Copies of this chain bind each other. A is one copy, B any other.
Amino acid sequence: MDYVCPLDWRYGSEEMRNIFRVENIVRKYVEVERALVCTLEELGIAEKGCCEKVMKAEVKPEEVYEMERKIGHDIAGLAFLLEEKSGCRFVHYGATSYDIVDTTWALLIRDALKIIKRRVIELLEDLIDKARKYADLVMIGRTHGQHALPITLGFKFANYVYEISRGLEILMYAEKMIVRGKMSGAVGTMAAWEGRGLEVEKRTLEKLGLEPHAISTQVAPRDGFAFLISAIAIIGSQLDRLALEIRELSRPEIGEMYEAFERVGSSAMPHKANPVTSEKVSGLAKMLRGLIIPALENIPLWHERDLTNSSCERILIPHAFLILDEMLISMIKVLKNLAINEKNIKKNLELLRNFTLTEMVMNILIKKGISRRRAHEMLRRITRRYVEGKSLQEALLEDEEISKILTREEIESIRPENYLGNYRELIERAIQYALEVIERARKDLKTLPS
Contacts and interface: CB of A to CB of B under 8 A. Distances in A.
29 contacts: A6-B311, A76-B266, A91-B372, A93-B363, A143-B269, A143-B305, A144-B305, A144-B306, A145-B250, A145-B303, A146-B250, A149-B187, A166-B221, A191-B419, A192-B359, A226-B230, A226-B234, A227-B234, A237-B296, A244-B302, A252-B352, A253-B253, A268-B359, A276-B307, A283-B311, A289-B297, A290-B291, A292-B293, A315-B323
A348 B426 CA distance: 37
Interface stretch (A7-15, A117-125, A335-343, A442-450): A7-15
Given A144-B274, A269-B148, A223 B234 contact: yes
Interface residues of A, number: 193
Contacts of A218: 141, 143, 148
Contacts of A243: 300
A191 B155 CA distance: 13
A352 B251 CA distance: 12
Contact of A149 (B189, B224, B244, B314): B189
A190 interface: yes
A96 interface: yes
Nearest to A76: B267
Interface in A220-260: 221, 223-224, 226-227, 230, 233-234, 237-238, 240-241, 243-245, 247-248, 250-254
A379 B210 CA distance: 34
Given A185-B149, A279-B310, A359-B268, A214 B430 contact: yes
A198 interface: yes
A96 B267 contact: yes
A393 B45 CA distance: 25
Nearest to A172: B173
B263 A426 contact: no
7 cross-chain pairs, A with B, having the tightest CB-CB distances, nearest first = A72-B263, A5-B5, A141-B187, A290-B293, A237-B299, A279-B307, A190-B421
A11 B308 CA distance: 14
Contacts of A216: 159, 162
Contact of A177 (B149, B166, B291, B315): B166
Interface in A196-230: 197-198, 213-218, 221, 223-224, 226-227, 230
